[in-house]
Amino acid sequence: MKNLGNISDTFLIIDRYSDYMYRRAWGKVMIIWGILLPLTITIFTLNTQLSILLDVEEIFLKFLATGLCVLFGTSFTLYIFLSVPKLTLRTKEEDEPSSIIGHYHGILLGLTWFILFQIPNFIIAPFHIVSYVVVSSIALIFSYLLLEKIHGRYKELLISGTVLLMSSIPLTLMVFLDLIVLAQISTAIVFAYSFLSGGFYSMYMAGKILDGNF
């Protein structure tokens, strides 16, 4: 009986460790995107000055910044999430349809983010950058709703998503009023604020889970 007690205690510990690793992964990913996205937008804003300074074509600089952001961000995200160990012990119930979403939620999330981030490519120039705010907010809110069913509440995703969605209204207005530079700088700030605060909050919550205070 003592052995069985040990096993049930250990299951709780493993569950906590798994939650900690997953939430920390979200934190790291949000922090890295919170750095990459504003940095890319800043390069877009200062594109003319930078292209003169570096003596390169403006379009080349834009292409390079976007390419590096997507390449570095995606590979970092994949590396972080794929290195989170799957500590859940498989049971027969896992083959039920309801848990299939749970099993493949990572792929579903990845596909959703990828598809949503293709939408801004079809948006006309002045609204191009602001449209990233809208798709990011939709992706974050979708992630929150999906994760709520599988991993519990990731409040930081909902808050960051809502902040981005609400910010998209004044940002769109700025573009309408032809305040393009101001809109770009504000977009960079909004991205940095929502993603970095969400990421650091996620890391803080991961620590609390590890200590068993959550």
Q: What's the CA gap between 22 and 26, in Å, rounded? A: 6
Residue 9 within binding range of other proteins, rule CB under 8 A: yes
Q: Which long-range contacts (CB under 8 A, 24 or more apart) does 140-146 make?
A: 140/164, 140/198, 141/165, 142/109, 142/112, 143/109, 143/112, 143/113, 146/101, 146/105, 146/108, 146/109
Name every residue whose Cβ is closer than 8 Å to that of residue 9 and which is 6 or more positions away in sequence. Answer: none
Q: Indicate which single residue of 6, 48, 75, 99 sits in contact with other proteins (rule: CB under 8 A).
A: 6
CB closer to other proteins, 14 vs 53: 14
Residue 13 within binding range of other proteins, rule CB under 8 A: yes
Residue 2 within binding range of other proteins, rule CB under 8 A: yes
CB closer to other proteins, 19 vs 167: 19
Q: Indicate which single residue of 52, 78, 87, 100 sits in contact with other proteins (rule: CB under 8 A).
A: 87
The site string for other proteins over 42-71 (x = CB under 8 A, - otherwise) reads: ------------------------------
Q: Of the ranges 1-9, 39-47, 74-82, 180-188, which one interacts with other proteins (CB under 8 A)? A: 1-9
Binders in 176-195 for other proteins, by CB under 8 A: none
- From the CB of 176, what's the least distance to other proteins, in Å? 45
Residue 85 within binding range of other proteins, rule CB under 8 A: yes
Q: Please give, one letter per residue, the 3-state secondary structure of 75-98.
A: HHHHHHHHCCCCCCCCCHHHHCHH
CB closer to other proteins, 4 vs 107: 4
* Residues 73/28, Cβ–Cβ less than 8 Å: no
* Exposed / middle / buried, residue 42 (Cβ in 10 Å: 0-12, 13-18, 19+): middle
Residue 90 within binding range of other proteins, rule CB under 8 A: no
Q: What's the CA gap between 51 and 132, in Å, rounded? A: 23
CA distances from 30 to 78, 132, 180, 200 (A): 13, 15, 26, 8
Q: Of the ranges 5-13, 43-51, 111-119, 189-197, which one interacts with other proteins (CB under 8 A)? A: 5-13
Residue ranges in contact with other proteins by CB under 8 A: 2-4, 6-7, 9-10, 13-14, 16-17, 20, 85, 87, 210-212
